[in-house]
Amino acid sequence: MFPMGFFFDPTFILVIIGMIISMIASSYVNRTFERYDAVKSSQHITGTDAARYILRDQNIDDVGVQQISGNLTDNYNSGNKTLSLSQATAQSTSVAAIGVAAHECGHAVQDDQSYFPLRLRTAIVPIANFGTNLSIPLLIVGILISGSSGQFIINIGLLAFSLAFIFQLVTLPVEFNASRRALQILSDGGLLTEEEVPQARKVLTAAALTYVAAAVSVLLQLLRLFLLFGGNRRR
């Protein structure tokens, strides 16, 4: 039988804390983006225009720019060399939109320059996804099997889930570096004024906090699993 702690356990508070942290970070980035989305850039260029300008300026001619649906769903796909901007970013001339577009261009520059953390993150994505999907079934199987064999399978499950946390850790330097590149490019290229660059920095800093929150949330989930099933805590 499954231990009651698997479904009802005081350690579930760790998951709740992680959810609250993620919600606060998400709310903060949305508020910050909305605030500076109301500030129109002095150059009156859209996020799409800014992205294309940056790519040309960085001599990157193999990356396409497209508009996608959603809010703050902007991303760069190194697999198909596509920079996707959400409608709020692609069509807006705001400081926030240009900052977000530049951040995604920062990933394209990383890819073009073979930035090692980006390569590492790309390489471990399938491994991390596989480990995360496999972890819970392994834990369940380990619970059903008594003795050291069951605990061994549980430990493998915990190790598999830890891959998700490793992925989050690798993501942090990738995102922070992309933002630093973006702000430098915006400043050097004159796309934003000296007064507008700090505003864009606030938007990108708020966005970066969502990745920190995600890492903390996964860490808390991992800690809970270790508290429930690590060592010899078989019930």
Q: How many helices (DSSP H) and strands (DSSP E) are in the chain?
A: 8, 3
Distance, in Å, from the CA atom of 192 to the CA atom of 188, rounded to the nearest integer, reads 9
The answer to whether the CB of 107 falls within 8 A of the CB of 47 is no
For residue 77, which amino acid is it? N
Supply the angle between the helices 196-229 and 116-144 in degrees, to the nearest 10.
30
Contacts of 120 (CB under 8 A, 6+ apart): 170
Which tokens go with 91? 């069509």
104 is catalytic: yes
Residue of 34, 104, 175, 194 marked active site: 104
DSSP 76: E
Distance, in Å, from the CA atom of 222 to the CA atom of 164, rounded to the nearest integer, reads 9
Q: How many CB atoms lie within 10 A of CB 100?
A: 31
The terminus-to-terminus CA distance of the chain in angstroms comes to 9
Q: Which residues are known to be catalytic?
A: 104
